[in-house]
Chains A and B, each alone.
Chain A
Amino acid sequence: MENLRRFGLFVAALCAVAGSSFALSPGDVVDDFRLNDQNGQSHELYYLSDMKAVVLLAAGNGCAASRAAAKALDALRTRYQAQNVEFLAIDSNLKDTPDSIAKETKADGTGLPVLTDELQLIGESLGFARNGEVLIVNPQNWKVIYRGAAEKGANHYVAAALDATLAGAPVKVSHTDAAGCDIVMPERERRSAHAQISYEKTIAPMLSEHCVACHRDGGIAPWQMSSYDMVRGFSPMIREVVRTKRMPPWHADPHYGVFSNDRSLTAEETKTLVHWIEAGSPRGGGADPLTAVKKDWPVWALGTPDLVVNLPKFDVPATGVIPYQMWTVDNPLDHDVWVRAVDFLPGARSNLHHIIATIGGEMAPGDKRDNTDGSLADYVPGSEPLQIPPESGILLKKGAKFGFQAHYTVNGKPVSDVTQMGLYFMDKPPQYRYRAAIMANPRIKIPANTKAYTNDAVYKFDREVLVYSLHPHAHFRGAAAEFVAQYPDGHEEVLLNVPRYEFNWQTTYVLKSPIVLPAGTAVKYSMTYDNSTQNKANPDPNRVVPWGQQTWDEMLFGVIRFRYLTLDANPTRTAQASP
């Protein structure tokens, strides 16, 4: 009897180990994730599939064990980097910020990028308990091949594990105890509470608010969040796209700027959603709001437009890569008007990925036109109509031509698209013109087989301006973008950081509070390109890539929408003509 009881306890203990799904041991698979480092650069684990090994260190400010391990790994990094081993630190400590981490690494003189895991979701799933702990992952199958201390006395565990892996041999010592500073992870102890997160009251409303505009019948998303069953079926995928920051499609670094069209989940929402999924996506009680709510999607969000412009019909094939479509369409009006708002009504919402609309065609460097004119509006899935602040407007002259760049994606079946653009006019001329500053560098030559190549363009404002929005643009090889203001007094400010530029989502980042840039401010717009095989969208990494309108070529092209701060004496005159 006593034996049986002990046996029962043993089974229970064994189950506790096997059932604790998130303590990663050697042999377990590490799920993909994407995090920014202390300098605002993005790192994705599975991007490193061309590496022989990836060494991850749990790091924390002010922890001696973490500092010692970082020093040891930094030394190994010099030795093993040439052999395709990547070294990354992950800081999952709630008290540490990108700034404080940057200060600490600078003081320590270590070169490891430190990924900031501010939501602790990655640290939790890696089972990090102590700063100073090391995980080694094999990118061939993403399995853990070592977990424990960096070294202990004369035992160089990490070096031994790397030597074995590089020689194609099994790792002899795959698990050691790591001494270090405990990482405070409040949610780790609350796994049972996560099973109580309400689908009805918390999860479904969150999805309705942030996702259903696209994940609905007739939306661009490939599947519909139409019931609990659908959400549960896609739960692991939802967790992955949230952890890798693919969804919601918002790519700005939250540490710089506040944007009115921010599509991201809040930190709290992200944690709740991932924890709910990790608890098994429990249904709980209550109604299913996703089946109950049938939202009536308005045809035109702002009401009937003053002018509807039909774009040309386009037949989208079932599969393949489609070049950007460039169209010119006549303006049918016989008089000048001022535009206050622009909206788009896609014909094939599931295939139309973006439209960039201009008056007179996209501005190119060297263009003789006033280059603060020309931009009109753009469309990306899920975007709101462009509503220009009341005191400004865009002048649409009679006889002008509309230019459109349309980007379609394939989804497995052929469809036809006729998209409409709706324009809304002002009753009387505005006080200010809504202008666009184009920043471009047509001389780019992106070297072949290069993971990161950065180039930039600068625009200097001669007059004091109020900036409304920022728009980075590149093609398949675009990887990261940044807008930095260089003020006349010499100090710099990051206006927008896009650590992971995603060409599929041509987002305009609209500042929640427009910012004033004094006369003489230069804005440096930089784009980093990934012309390597690791860029899964890259059609040809062996090519030196020049400037070009099509996606297989590249553009270094940024747009700032602004108005002058002082009244335009005559807003119908162009900027070049005015003093």
Chain B
Amino acid sequence: MIRARYMLLVMLCAAACGVSSAGTLAPGGHIADFTLTDQSGAAHQLYALSGKKAVVIMTQSNGCPIVRLAVPALREIRERYRSQNIEFLLLNPTLQDTGDAVRREVEEFGFGMTVLLDRTQQVGEAWGVKRTAEVFVIDPKTWTLLYHGPIDDRLNYESQRPVRHPYLTDALDALLANKAVAVASVVSPGCLINFPHRKHS
């Protein structure tokens, strides 16, 4: 009874304040299934990728310089791991980018990647996405998060420097070698994405 009342309280509060209760996904956390359409209108279900060794998803928004500079690096990594049965996707959880606008961005910058459109922001909110160019490495055997952070430490605001820590490929190599990911969470630079229904910070 007390528990029920507490739950009701939490729900009431969430509803009354417009505060999202989600957004605390950490490495080891569970990734729920979703189905989203891409920039060409094709539907993609996450759990349909259960045969993959890993699913790598990077957040994107149109007009963000860090994403535009990160995508070529992500594509290179996709090429390098081509034989390893790993899926690479982009996720656009913004309110402002329509499918058409995303398609134009993909063409203009030659992304050559599928962008999942999360126009209700449900995935972005559930995952606790803050910025673009955040990479999520997911283990499809257990649907758990293995790594959350930037591709590497090359890019920053209006600057870049040689890579010292290739976080993403370190995580993929660990997964492929059945080892634990040593660095599973790194603070990422990128463009802040507006999640109006999420509590500030």
Contact = CB atoms under 8 A, between A and B. Distances in A.
B159 A11 contact: no
Nearest to A19: B17
Nearest to B164: A533
Interface in A224-244: 224, 229-230, 232-237, 239-240
B108 interface: yes
B32 interface: no
B4 to A, nearest CB: 13
A102 interface: no
Contacts of A200: none
B192 A236 contact: yes
B187 A229 contact: no
A412 interface: yes
A412 B66 CA distance: 9
Nearest to B157: A246
A412 B16 contact: no
B182 to A, nearest CB: 15
Interface stretch (A63-71, A175-183, A536-544): A536-544
A278 B194 CA distance: 11
Contacts, number: 114
B199 A234 contact: no
A246 B63 contact: no
Interface bracket on B? 35 or more
Contacts of B96: 229-230, 232-234
B42 to A, nearest CB: 24
Q: Is the interface of B mostly helix, strand, loop or mixed?
A: loop
Given A18-B19, A19-B19, A237-B191, A223 B13 contact: no
A229 B159 contact: no
Nearest to B195: A236
Given A18-B199, A233-B194, A318 B72 contact: yes
Nearest to A227: B96
B192 A237 contact: yes
Interface in A494-540: 502, 504, 536-540
Smallest CB-CB A-B distances: 5 pairs? A223-B63, A412-B68, A233-B96, A21-B200, A537-B159
12 contacts: A14-B9, A18-B19, A19-B17, A21-B200, A222-B63, A232-B196, A233-B193, A280-B196, A319-B73, A409-B158, A476-B159, A536-B161
Interface of A: 10-12, 14-15, 18-19, 21-22, 24, 28-31, 49, 140-142, 222-224, 229-230, 232-237, 239-240, 246, 278, 280-281, 318-319, 321, 409-413, 476, 502, 504, 536-540
